Homo-oligomer: A and B are copies of this chain.
């Protein structure tokens, strides 16, 4: 489908709420939307471990509203969704391993809060559009490759189960309550503005930090497990296209693009940085239990629907990421 209005025009003066808007993808999206002339509000809990960082919006903080609150807080969400034309719903935890240790917290954030947001829309803003950030983690171990949107959902961890429920809620509210909702199932995403304190919400950026810090990267198993990778700007483009579209509501789309093994990613990063080292070690038992094996996304559905394709190649993405953190290291380390 060709869009009648270009995204850049669609977003001018549009009121946009971004949950998790101080996080990695949320803040990158916020920056683009401010450039496009949107009236942006970001909501973020700034829970230290989760990736929200005020520096992520450095330089644009006066061109947008920043509201510190947790999506688990039903009262603030109930107010914040009002009068928003579009909601990019990116708040959520992503840690596979944390979800296994503390399933209740993952449930609160990834399911209970999603109901809060959708109920708030139903009661206070049923005309809004809401785009949910789903995950390839919903598929679990791939039964075939590449994985399309019809692949069975057989999650291998609590986080995957909860993200399925979160997505189903969005589709249900679209179907039953007429709130326009769409889900993008994200794959591993890397790039600037990702938190760099620990590896539990995204391992790719963590590898880049280890290279910068001169630490030896430890790859589990053989390091040959394939991941499908996106650079953050491409993911943000997908969100912008979906938010400006009329034909996506009630649907789910895979993102994806660069299929490489973790070892290949690390090798490419070491080559670009000019130094670095890695080794392979056996899977820790708690990791082995939830490991998904290879994952390659079939993202042809969104290409067909919205002409979306990732544009940033691996080397260029890694290079931009290194440059960003070398410049702003003090705000992330």
Contact = CB atoms under 8 A, between A and B. Distances in A.
Interface of A: 100, 103-104, 107, 111-112, 115, 119, 150, 152-153, 155-158, 161-162, 164-165, 168-169, 172, 175-176, 289-290
Given A289-B176, A290-B176, A111 B165 contact: yes
A175 B156 contact: yes
7 contacts: A104-B115, A107-B115, A111-B111, A156-B176, A158-B172, A161-B169, A164-B165
Contacts of A289: 175-176
Contacts of A290: 176
A165 B153 CA distance: 11
B112 A104 contact: yes
Contacts of A162: 165
Contact of A111 (B100, B107, B150, B155): B107
A168 B168 CA distance: 14
Given A156-B175, A165-B165, A176-B290, 5 more contacts: A104-B112, A107-B112, A111-B111, A111-B165, A164-B164
Nearest to A289: B176
A71 to B, nearest CB: 14
A168 B172 contact: no
Give the number of times this chain occurs in the complex, counting copies: 2
A69 to B, nearest CB: 18
B161 A172 contact: yes
B176 A168 contact: no
Nearest to A161: B168
A287 to B, nearest CB: 11
Contact of A155 (B104, B112, B172): B172
A279 to B, nearest CB: 27
When A and B form their complex, which 9 residue pairs have the shortest distance between CB atoms, in order from nearest? A161-B168, A165-B165, A176-B289, A103-B115, A161-B165, A161-B169, A107-B112, A104-B115, A155-B168
A127 to B, nearest CB: 18
A176 B100 contact: yes
Contacts of A112: 104, 107, 112
Contacts of A107: 111-112, 115
Contacts of A104: 112, 115
Contacts of A168: 155, 161, 164
A141 B104 CA distance: 30
A152 B172 CA distance: 15
A25 to B, nearest CB: 25
